[in-house]
Structure 1
């Protein structure tokens, strides 16, 4: 930036003005320093923002075009035109402004500020260690093997951990690492894959979500270019007879212009979790085709929501080939369905309420889940907590069986979703439900000897059963983020101190349980004593992308990734909401 030349002007008015401005300057500095002593949140935010703001590159990079231009392929089944336009991203009399989501935080005391700062530093240190291990032993691989010191590909070989972690590097002020990672992203060839098929769900949430969020934060143009390449590949997954997406994109037939065949059945989260990323890509590019593609999926779920065996909820398995989201007798909020529900209020939020279908989908699912899937377990101290269970429906009579009190770590996202939706819908009751659900997962963490909740467990909920847990069907901890995700939302939405304390207890347990010399490793059995922990040779990409990011944000100033400015996808990638 060129230096400004200020002409020299003599005279008493200038000197007096200089004295006044100088005094004001020093007074401001004194005030800010006092604020820092007292733990002023806004000043610390400014310092963190300086780390997050765009600046000169420390690693040069050059865009490398993928070997296949997915956007230029001629589809076998062309989409109908005109495309469905994006909803307007502005408020109006027809579209009232949404309520504030995040708690209005005030100044901190010095003691509280220092404690929070120290905890954030501890989280960042673990993230740096994990990233350095990935960079050393698994660079450009999808995942790190932290015990053997090697890498592994599982999601097409496009460096899943690297792309998934981009926004975490940026948020934590790891500027050199971020720029080095972008240089590697520039060389990814989305025309080639280590497997003949590409999973549309994982590609969307980890890769496309990671690229879009990193672009929203840094405005590095190359990230948007790569996001468009990948978005065009995902869009090619809609080249089917009924323009519904496949679960796995077969690259050979697409390249040959043969189109794709939709699988007979897929888990409902697969098509239901394409909306947020594709809509954001349309917002950023101005190209409506991505949103138009997913809007047909939304229409299908919206039309069928109240026709299922448990009205308001969707079965675990759906058929995109038949356009059937109604049939099915297994219902859950956990794996296979989770992010379908998560995206209803988040799409409502991204569009600032301009598409009423998402509001209806949100309200109906919240009400139905309370009626059919949430239960209060019997625990020794009779804590006022909730858990999310499962329900099957009798195919012959269409009557639901009693609730199955099995839950999963994956289901722990639901507390944060209830709290977010409760704020958006001005429903204190749903915020309260979110708090009870989150306390349920915190309770599960505290209850096991390692301080970590297992992957899958059962709890007692009938009065004739002993109080507490009945099984730990899957005793692993595979670095999942869902519990700390809901703790993060509860902290940012309510401002209640219990959530930061819960987060710190969880972090200490997770750090201790997963610790290795080379990053962090999954835990084989969380039901053993801490000294008996065994670890698996695996570190998922969401460890850095989600779990550590949520811990870090709990202990960061609340205007870093404010919940009123950003919508986080199911992989914790923050998308900037269009200005309202």
Structure 2
């Protein structure tokens, strides 16, 4: 030791040389400073990469060049105001144009910015239109039409003369301004009349055939590369376990079978039916989501039964519903989220506010379970969902709102988080549709729906500075100005619920405004597909700002709202918006092995996630097909869609 050597001023040796105390402390101090600098630099880089908003889509070099070019008009000719055509405008025209574009005449820089924005928008629009590739429709000999006979859908060789005449009456651009009450579809809904020509009908037929071709492409590849698996990986070309784990439950087969039937794909329908009959057993040790199993499997099987009348589908639905019964064994009757189909144990998601049940999950069982009791004569299923209903009717609701989490043991709300999107969405949908499914006899369901929507209007409905209407999220007394893609279903829901409300015109208009907002979320992306969530603030309008919100996984909710708005108003723009989505899907999501989601809707040539979701066949393609079909295909006064787009017949 240095002390024993008689050298008290030295503590250690480096390479055989004694090092004084002071120099040691100096070197340590230098190391600490260097380490602190590196740590600070790393923290700043990490934070900038993960937490700052992505501004790549807000500023472009072309836009900056236009701004610098146009700035000359202000610097050198400060009294000249430039119109959208690039020429100075007279004093008389100044007044008119300031009014027209809502610009302060004393704010010349606003005018210049507006001009740059308009020109940039024109250029981008030209590029977008040039880049979109129209899909060739199916050959005429592959055309499939659908007719409805005795409340069942059956394939037909060709449309009747009456249907052809009805198609000829549709129009792209001629509409009457007056609205009238019409009972032809949903009963007392407000409709817009149109008149058109044969070219419009021909175009609609081609679009429908294109969607049918998309269905064939997605189904054929699933059948080739992933038959029996839950979903398809279209790039890797093999099966995907999906949310149902590794048990091969054929989720895509069950989810898509009613779409096959509606589209007249008879051979494919028969093969799917045969697989379900022989292979769908629900055996294994995997924990299954009660909600997802209900809406996809039980809903899909009940719809196939209602359409075809085959008893096998009903029996399979009952078998699966019985497997889910242990989830309801709670003091309140509010079911837990997960069931192990082998052991019969149940539990909630650990991340769900400390293990609480989720509103959208236990609130989205009523349609399927009540219909199952109706066709089997076993009231146990109806009893389960009515116990949930009665509990929610009697529980105290904060400001009339239904929070997203509920403790199934204590019966208390877990936190005040309310959303029209994830965790809440289909609960509100099922209140309205239960009323419709019962032939509008379930008055309690309608009363609960009206009360819930009124409370959300008062607390959560917002209009952005761009005039876009949206439902914000309500969290412990504060609003988060974000709307999920999932919440875009609400445009169709509130429009569908207009009939029977206190103000039908108001709610039809609200549905149209939400549809416009969700269309803007698509239109403001590079791919013309919408993000998983989009936000509204001083610098952002209907766009995602966080990387984990920019993906698109073939979701149907925006298309769903287009479908309802088309059926209820007959405004051509909804068919046109749907066609824009078809073209975007074909351009960015179609691959040789099927259809895939994309990871960033704001990038051209985005990375793909390599998953063809089962709901793409069950919902997205079904709604697209129905948008371009006659109203007699699944008419809304005879059928109600569950939240997975499986139609169930209205009780009459």
Shorter-chain TM-score range: 0.7 to 0.9
Counterparts of 2:310 and 2:576 in 1: how far apart (Å)? 36
Secondary structure of 1:165 counterpart: helix
Note closer, same or farther for the CA distance 1:506–1:252 as it changes in structure 2 (3 Å cut).
closer
Residues 533 and 544 in structure 2, CA contact (< 8 A), matched pair in contact too? no
Structure having the higher strand fraction is 2
Note closer, same or farther for the CA distance 1:261–1:500 as it changes in structure 2 (3 Å cut).
closer
Q: Give the deviation of 1:352 after TM superposition.
A: 2.0
Larger RCO: 1 or 2 (CA < 8 Å, sep 6+): 1
Counterparts of 2:416 and 2:227 in 1: how far apart (Å)? 44
With the length of structure 1 as denominator, give the TM-score of the two structures: 0.77
Does 1:347 find its partner at 2:434?
Answer: yes
Cα deviation per residue 1:525-570 (whole Å; 9 max; x = unaligned)? 10012xx222111111001000010111000011101111100000
Which residues of 2 match residues 195-274 of structure 1 at below 5 A? 195-254=285-344, 264-274=355-365
Residues 412 and 437 in structure 1, CA contact (< 8 A), matched pair in contact too? yes
Q: Give the deviation of 1:337 after TM superposition.
A: 0.9
Equivalenced residues, count: 470
Counterparts of 1:385 and 1:347 in 2: how far apart (Å)? 30
Does 1:576 find its partner at 2:643?
Answer: no
Residues 404 and 423 in structure 2, CA contact (< 8 A), matched pair in contact too? yes
Counterparts of 1:125 and 1:185 in 2: how far apart (Å)? 24
Question: What residue in structure 2 maps to residue 451 of structure 1?
Answer: 528
Question: What residue in structure 1 maps to residue 446 of structure 2?
Answer: 359
Cα deviation per residue 1:182-241 (whole Å; 9 max; x = unaligned)? 000002343403x43221001000000000011111111211111111122223432445
Secondary structure of 1:567 counterpart: strand
Which residues of 2 match residues 290-301 of structure 1 at below 5 A? 290-301=381-392
Does 1:182 find its partner at 2:257?
Answer: no
Question: What residue in structure 1 maps to residue 457 of structure 2?
Answer: 370
Question: What residue in structure 1 maps to residue 482 of structure 2?
Answer: 406
Which residues of 2 match residues 76-91 of structure 1 at below 5 A? none
Residues 145 and 264 in structure 2, CA contact (< 8 A), matched pair in contact too? no
Secondary structure of 1:198 counterpart: strand
Counterparts of 1:447 and 1:515 in 2: how far apart (Å)? 21
Counterparts of 1:377 and 1:242 in 2: how far apart (Å)? 40
Counterparts of 2:365 and 2:587 in 1: how far apart (Å)? 35
Cα deviation per residue 1:388-423 (whole Å; 9 max; x = unaligned)? 211112xxxxxx22x211111111111011111112
Q: Which moved more, 1:503-512 or 1:151-160?
A: 151-160
Counterparts of 1:506 and 1:196 in 2: how far apart (Å)? 36
Q: 340, 365, 389: which one pairs with 2:472? A: 389
Note closer, same or farther for the CA distance 1:339–1:161 as it changes in structure 2 (3 Å cut).
same
Secondary structure of 1:141 counterpart: coil
Residues 212 and 224 in structure 1, CA contact (< 8 A), matched pair in contact too? yes
Question: What residue in structure 2 maps to residue 312 of structure 1?
Answer: 400
Counterparts of 1:478 and 1:262 in 2: how far apart (Å)? 25
Q: Give the deviation of 1:578 after TM superposition.
A: 1.7
Q: 492, 508, 515: which one pairs with 1:431? A: 508
Secondary structure of 1:249 counterpart: strand
Secondary structure of 2:594 counterpart: coil
With the length of structure 2 as denominator, give the TM-score of the two structures: 0.68
Counterparts of 2:229 and 2:578 in 1: how far apart (Å)? 30
Question: What residue in structure 1 maps to residue 576 of structure 2?
Answer: 501
Secondary structure of 1:471 counterpart: coil
Counterparts of 1:333 and 1:439 in 2: how far apart (Å)? 17
Q: Give the deviation of 1:153 after TM superposition.
A: 2.2
CA radius of gyration, larger in: 2
Counterparts of 2:594 and 2:341 in 1: how far apart (Å)? 34
Cα deviation per residue 1:445-471 (whole Å; 9 max; x = unaligned)? 1111110111122122xxx55666471
Secondary structure of 2:497 counterpart: helix
Segments of structure 2 that go 5 or more residues without pairing to the other structure are 1-142, 157-185, 350-354
Counterparts of 1:470 and 1:125 in 2: how far apart (Å)? 31
The CA RMSD measured in Å over matched residues stands at 2.4
Note closer, same or farther for the CA distance 1:107–1:391 as it changes in structure 2 (3 Å cut).
same
Note closer, same or farther for the CA distance 1:188–1:373 as it changes in structure 2 (3 Å cut).
farther
Q: 495, 507, 512: which one pairs with 1:419? A: 495
Residues 362 and 421 in structure 1, CA contact (< 8 A), matched pair in contact too? no
